[in-house]
Structure 1
Amino acid sequence: MTDIPEVPDLLSSAVEALGGARRDGQLKMASAVAHSIDTGEHLAVQAGTGTGKSLAYLVPSLRHAVDTGKTVVVSTATIALQRQLVERDLPRTATALTGPLGRVPEFAILKGRGNYLCLNKIHAGTIEEPEGDLFDALGGGKADPFAASRLGREVTRLREWTSDTETGDRDDLTPGVTDRSWRQVSVTARECLGATNCSYGADCFAEKAKAKAGKADVVVTNHALLAIDAMSPAAILPEHDVVVVDEAHELADRITSVATAEISGASVAGLARRCAKLVDEEVADDISGSAELIESLLDDIAPGRWTGLPDGAPLALSSLRDRLWKAHTAIGPVRRSGEVDPEGNAARLAALTSLEEMHDTAVRILAAFDDPDEAKRPDVVWIGEDLVRGDRKRVLRVAPLSVGGLLRASLFAHATVILTSATLTVGGSFDGLAASWGLPPHRPGSADATSAAPDSDPATEATKSAQSITAIGKPPPADEKKLVWNGLDVGSPFDHQKSAILYVAKHLPAPGREGMSARTLDEVVDLITAAGGRTLGLFSSMRAAKDAAEAVRTRIDLPVLCQGDGATGALVKEFAADEKTCLFGTLSLWQGVDVPGPSLNLVLIDRIPFPRPDDPLLMARQRAVAARGGNGFMAIAAGHAALLLAQGTGRLLRGTSDRGVIAVLDSRLATARYGNYLLASLPPFWRTTDGQLVRGALSRLQGTNTTDGDRA
């Protein structure tokens, strides 16, 4: 029987040591996490801003790890939260709990191998020459000398940094370097020779990080590495029995991103150059010929989703597949440890890895249309466009239709999983996100109960349709035992009714494709004027943000910053430092701004953030749900919008003393059939459609801020 105190007592000790105050929601969450760890039941817990959710899951995680000797993995979506956990939350919590736990808890951070310097690549002379890559990237006949010189300077700095850094971790490098430069000094997991086969294995930064993680009680990682671990036959993360997924609302998208692959004419041509020194000239020329075929194919077909293989695609892709494998065979296996030529081994392994990955992508695309039922196809294929130095370059992409089966089989089947975020209930239910994770409906029999409800209820339609998401794409394997999970909303320390007004401008025309209407712009100007600045504008596109910023600047004598004018982090700091400043922007501001205090009293949202109608992956998922008898719009498009809307409105209240207004300038939130579903996804703000009332509230709030500032 353990002598370690129970979680409520440990939490109390930690809060007291950290100088905090008791929070009922935090205690409720910590107790629920402890219960899930004890029973093995998965848990989805929504904890509003200010709950202190990091401490609520760290305390029971540390207790479990110290008590059992087993590792707990904590996965986050953003670098910012990773740093917060490793540099602030974990050190302080570990210190606070050292006495009650009986020893100092150990923790470590672990990232993908590509985040660390590769000593072998740096010292073995396998860094690629920039000229050829630049030729491809620019699509012209002349390399960019400025880009080449920058690449050279940054690689030189990275070489010098090798002797100064103890971690080799890219995030510890200040200032940072471009992705292009970093790729010259790093390798992927598949390109790595392995510690036993590498001359620098004993000093490898990635291996040191992995070894440290293997001894830790809590390992902090990211959703991308969690995905790689789930998809890889080899163990990437240390052995563990509990996984905490913070920022869980982003889990499915991050897993999808890792499982997405692409082919372009430039990438095939680059691979031909990489292989040129390792194979006969004829073999390399064959791959170059395939690059031209792929480039021609993509040029002849309009961007968008493929519902079948278009004319020319089978020949181009099968030819590429066969030529890549011919080169793979010609290069031969990498020599094992103890043999000579480490430089040659590294070059061969890098080429073999790239050949295998592109070969597998070609095979995956060719097989994507085998099933005539689109809802049963594992993958979605489409042509996208990337902006490369001002030019649009077409790329053929393939992504999983659903990642629920993968998560169910590779994550939930092997560990107890705690999923948490400030926004997990969509339309008032956990089922939407749970379906994307591969989990069954929340409550036993809920599907039957929902079926009996009136079909006219949008929330009911969305819930029923969300449950059908688990049936699309590749199905999960049959479970030996049914997955059991619980959903819990621990609320928020904020009094939303008294702290914030949700204003929906019902009188405005619905947004159109032509941009912001004159009446809507007038509304923006009136609201910002009433607030005296202090406005965060969240827009559906960068074009909308820039157009609005330019128009407002001509009519209001207040500073208006716009995303793209500088680094986003610097713009947010400038916005927070001056109460009269406004900041307009798009997606990263919807989710990444934390500005408590009087610098932010008004959040403007130009329109409901539905996904773009030409988003091939979301549209394919929408059609797949419809093919299963569900409402694809409610399950996918409205679900996506609800989640992002909840994130956006969450920018206003960041501290218990914050006050203000969230103004949604899209009248459909008040008039459309799906409006109540979206509103059910938001905190219980005080709601109104009275613009005059709202402007009066903002004016009074501005006066309060000014008075407080004068006193200060």
Structure 2
Amino acid sequence: MPDETPTPDRVREVLATAVSGLGGAEREGQVRMAEAVAAALRDEQHLLVQAGTGTGKSLAYLVPSMLHGDRVVIATATLALQHQLVERDLPRLVGAVKGEAGVDTSYAVLKGRSNYACLHRIREGVPDDQGVLVDVPEGTMGAEVLALRAWAEEQAESGGPGDKDHAPRHNDRLWRQVSVSARECLGAARCPYGEECFAERAKEKAATSQLVVTNHSLLAIDAIEGIPMIPEYDAVVVDEAHELVARVTQAATDELTAGEVDRAARRARRHVEESDALGNPADDLADAAEALRAAMAETDGGRLDALGEELSDALVLVRDAARECVSAFAKDRGKDKDAEGDAGKAQAKAGVQEVFTTAERLVANSDHDVVWLSKPYAPGRDRVPDRLCVAPLQVWGQMRDRLLSESTVVMTSATLMLGGDFDAVASTVGLKPSERVAEGAEPQPRRTPGKSGQGPTVLPWRGLDVGSPFDYGKQGILYVARHLPTPGRDGLGPAQLDEIVRLVDAAEGRTLGLFSSRRAAEAAAEAVRERLPHLTTLAQGDAQLSELTRQFVDDPHTNLFGTLGLWQGLDVPGDTCQLVIIDRIPFPRPDDPLMSARQRAADAAGGNGFMQVAATHAALLLAQGAGRLIRTTEDRGVVAVLDPRLSTARYGRFLEASLPPMWRTSDPAVVAKALARLASVTA
């Protein structure tokens, strides 16, 4: 069993053993963070800890979590970090501290059910759109499905995890042929392969493990939506916490298309009972799908503060028809008792139930939700269906009431301090600045809800910045191009393109360009290719991101230009990247339905919607983008922001305070000389 209350000395001792066993060196920030995490778990206080790149924050929270007396959940935002933890960090850590007294090294991984292969679907067949079980798709796709099936059988025999991250190469369409959603699952008790089920095995292992590694979305479903997905736990460590609000919002967002309604009707038709008076309720659902398609075609895209009569009526038809279908499924008098019938029926009923739930939420048009109609304007528009979306206006309330009041939560990231403190991020996750505990204050006991009916009481919280091993003042330059015009809505102008070419030329490539739109990235790439043909310039979309990254790393005289996918998570240390260009402050688009609604709600509540929503969003992305430059203690370079508002606007000070403390200048000649000097040293 882990120590119930490990002392600071014990935490430092086990951390030192781990670091030594892994061949590393002690880092002050890592030690401070480990001690703070242990204290938070011990004193039952929430902790927000900013740990710069290179701190070694994974070890800093894994070691005290292994020493904690109860189960700890580790939640990540990206599959890349989850994979790193499970495949590299945890196995190496276990090897380093194995045998240490009071350290429980058991761990498990939990993912959503659709991430695991389904043995019933594999062995009994794949239901088609009519709910009929068929053998396997024909052609090349069929061969690939057979390969996935064979792999799953090998996993079942060997005791492997059977999850998609360990599967042979595949796309999402292929994976859907060997998996089911949680709604479609028959359940372990009814499934003839329940004892072998990969998802059930993962849950069983998690129930006996000290650490459970999962993702933000599954944590949100378990803690916030109240659907039990994770075994009982005492504390949560949220890594990549700067993405938590976005991931929780995403998990609570529902979408509906007319095609999905029609598909649900087709699958339901053979499983629902007909009425002498009303006929097959699935036919009514199909008719409702057509009404919805027509109503969406007549409705303008964007945020819908009011649904409009035609769209509202169509959604009511969908809701009511789906409800009738679900009721007809419930009248089971012995049909479909075989396993194949059960599987097809489960999938069909799950589809109708999902349509009903989403339509009911859309019809309600709650003040707590934001509804919008997405009408993609990309080429091939006729092949992309209109999509109704509904998302929570805010998630801090749910997080506060259902996560922060139930468990001790540690949130960590390299970017949690926006504008120089933790208050902006704390507010978005449900922590109030007034609940922050001053440094050195005595710990308070866990508080329970009172009898006043005011709801759950959230634990107090602390904020800690453990710094970074990097000397940003010497390693990096922040250049703000004050002489350029303020960016307009028409994309990059001649002045910005000239500046980009000049900077890239001085750096002799080695440039990562982070742009606010695909159009801007492509325009910049075209200009650099035309004027600097001796350099290789890649644009996001030219190939898979992994291939583009490989080319960028292999040849220093290469530039990589792209949009949001490059702002976060791209890790290219060394001479590969010595210049990061940011074309404009990444405010959310004015027509972003969710962000604009949140900004309006903040204004209505007496706050400053621009600063609370738009500026906070921009500060977070700016910090993430600027963080692509310095990844090791040897890295050197320039972050060039081509938006003068960073220095001239009133909100610029808040944004600049969110960035790493690099040496600052607005002199283009100084920057050109610095880049040329770096290029000559690394040539």
Percent sequence identity over matched residues? 51
Q: Within 1, Cα distance between the matches of 2:393 and 2:94?
A: 41
Q: 2:524 aligns with which of 548, 551, 555?
A: 548
Is 686-695 or 262-271 further displaced after alignment?
Answer: 262-271
Q: Within 1, Cα distance between the matches of 2:670 and 2:233?
A: 54
Q: Measure how far apart 1:149 and its partner are.
A: 4.6
Q: What secondary structure is seen at the aligned counterpart in 2 of 1:202?
A: coil
Determine whether 1:357 maps to 2:360. Answer: no
- Does the 8 Å CA contact 2:525/2:539 hold for their aligned counterparts? yes
For 1:344, give the aligned amino acid: G
Greater helix share, structure number: 1
- Corresponding residue for residue 290 of structure 1: 288
Determine whether 1:156 maps to 2:158. Answer: no
For 2:409, give the aligned amino acid: V
How far does the alpha carbon of each residue in 1:488-532 deviate from its partner, in whole angstroms, 9 at most, with x for none? 111111111000000000000111122211111111111111111
Q: Within 1, Cα distance between the matches of 2:331 and 2:30?
A: 54
Determine whether 1:170 maps to 2:174. Answer: no
Q: 2:246 aligns with which of 238, 241, 253?
A: 253
For 1:89, give the aligned amino acid: D
Q: Within 2, Cα distance between the matches of 1:212 and 1:169?
A: 14
- Corresponding residue for residue 689 of structure 1: 666
- Does the 8 Å CA contact 1:76/1:82 hold for their aligned counterparts? yes
How far does the alpha carbon of each residue in 1:333-373 deviate from its partner, in whole angstroms, 9 at most, with x for none? 6799xx9412212222222222222212111112124xxxx
Q: 2:562 aligns with which of 568, 585, 589?
A: 585
Q: Within 2, Cα distance between the matches of 1:107 and 1:445?
A: 32
Cα distance 1:560–1:335, how it changes in 2: closer, same or farther (>3 A)?
farther
Q: Measure how far apart 1:209 and its partner are.
A: 1.2
Q: Measure how far apart 1:151 and its partner are.
A: 4.3
Show the 5 A alignment for 1:229-628.
229-279=222-272, 280=274, 282-332=280-330, 340-369=337-366, 377-386=367-376, 391-441=383-433, 478-556=454-532, 557-628=534-605
Q: Within 1, Cα distance between the matches of 2:15 and 2:543?
A: 41
Cα distance 1:683–1:586, how it changes in 2: closer, same or farther (>3 A)?
same
How far does the alpha carbon of each residue in 1:587-646 deviate from its partner, in whole angstroms, 9 at most, with x for none? 111002111111110001011111111110000000000001111111101110000000
Show the 5 A alignment for 1:64-103.
64=68, 68=69, 70-101=70-101
Q: Measure how far apart 1:308 and its partner are.
A: 1.4
- Does the 8 Å CA contact 1:533/1:582 hold for their aligned counterparts? yes
For 2:411, give the aligned amino acid: L
Cα distance 1:444–1:71, how it changes in 2: closer, same or farther (>3 A)?
closer
- Corresponding residue for residue 120 of structure 1: 120
Q: Measure how far apart 1:168 and its partner are.
A: 1.6
Q: What secondary structure is seen at the aligned counterpart in 1 of 2:74?
A: strand
Cα distance 1:691–1:334, how it changes in 2: closer, same or farther (>3 A)?
farther
- Does the 8 Å CA contact 2:34/2:61 hold for their aligned counterparts? yes
Q: What secondary structure is seen at the aligned counterpart in 2 of 1:12?
A: helix
How far does the alpha carbon of each residue in 1:193-242 deviate from its partner, in whole angstroms, 9 at most, with x for none? 21111111011111111111111111110111111112444421011101
- Corresponding residue for residue 441 of structure 2: none
For 2:605, give the aligned amino acid: R
Determine whether 1:44 maps to 2:48. Answer: yes
- Does the 8 Å CA contact 1:130/1:148 hold for their aligned counterparts? no
For 2:341, give the aligned amino acid: G
Q: What secondary structure is seen at the aligned counterpart in 2 of 1:648?
A: helix
Cα distance 1:349–1:643, how it changes in 2: closer, same or farther (>3 A)?
same
Q: Normalising to structure 2: TM-score of the pair?
A: 0.91
- Corresponding residue for residue 59 of structure 2: 55
- Corresponding residue for residue 459 of structure 1: none
Q: What secondary structure is seen at the aligned counterpart in 2 of 1:230?
A: helix
Q: Within 2, Cα distance between the matches of 1:617 and 1:29?
A: 35
For 1:300, give the aligned amino acid: E
Is 413-422 or 156-165 further displaced after alignment?
Answer: 156-165
Cα distance 1:360–1:643, how it changes in 2: closer, same or farther (>3 A)?
same
Q: Within 1, Cα distance between the matches of 2:331 and 2:418?
A: 50
For 1:701, give the aligned amino acid: L
Q: What secondary structure is seen at the aligned counterpart in 1 of 2:296?
A: helix
Q: Measure how far apart 1:99 and its partner are.
A: 2.8
Q: 2:650 aligns with which of 673, 691, 699?
A: 673
Q: What secondary structure is seen at the aligned counterpart in 2 of 1:365?
A: helix
Q: What secondary structure is seen at the aligned counterpart in 1 of 2:541?
A: coil
Cα distance 1:399–1:89, how it changes in 2: closer, same or farther (>3 A)?
same
Q: Within 2, Cα distance between the matches of 1:41 and 1:238?
A: 21
Q: What secondary structure is seen at the aligned counterpart in 2 of 1:560?
A: strand
Show the 5 A alignment for 1:183-202.
183-202=176-195
Q: Measure how far apart 1:157 and its partner are.
A: 2.7
Cα distance 1:554–1:208, how it changes in 2: closer, same or farther (>3 A)?
same
- Corresponding residue for residue 38 of structure 2: 34
Unaligned runs of 5+ in 2: 439-452
Q: Within 1, Cα distance between the matches of 2:588 and 2:150?
A: 45
For 1:235, give the aligned amino acid: P
How far does the alpha carbon of each residue in 1:354-410 deviate from its partner, in whole angstroms, 9 at most, with x for none? 2222212111112124xxxxxxx1100010134696534211110000111211122
Q: What secondary structure is seen at the aligned counterpart in 2 of 1:164?
A: helix
The alignment yields a C-alpha RMSD, in angstroms, of 2.3
For 2:339, give the aligned amino acid: P
Q: What secondary structure is seen at the aligned counterpart in 2 of 1:412?
A: coil
Q: Within 2, Cα distance between the matches of 1:480 and 1:570?
A: 49
Q: Measure how far apart 1:54 and its partner are.
A: 0.4
For 1:156, give the aligned amino acid: L
- Does the 8 Å CA contact 1:334/1:348 hold for their aligned counterparts? no
- Does the 8 Å CA contact 1:497/1:685 hold for their aligned counterparts? yes
For 1:683, give the aligned amino acid: P
- Report how many residues are paired: 649
Cα distance 1:703–1:630, how it changes in 2: closer, same or farther (>3 A)?
same
Q: What secondary structure is seen at the aligned counterpart in 2 of 1:321?
A: helix
Q: Within 2, Cα distance between the matches of 1:526 and 1:161?
A: 52
Q: What secondary structure is seen at the aligned counterpart in 2 of 1:195?
A: coil
For 1:6, give the aligned amino acid: R
Cα distance 1:405–1:104, how it changes in 2: closer, same or farther (>3 A)?
closer
Q: Within 2, Cα distance between the matches of 1:277 and 1:544?
A: 51
For 2:420, give the aligned amino acid: G
- Does the 8 Å CA contact 1:130/1:151 hold for their aligned counterparts? no
Q: Within 2, Cα distance between the matches of 1:534 and 1:160?
A: 44
Q: Measure how far apart 1:313 and its partner are.
A: 2.2
For 1:699, give the aligned amino acid: A
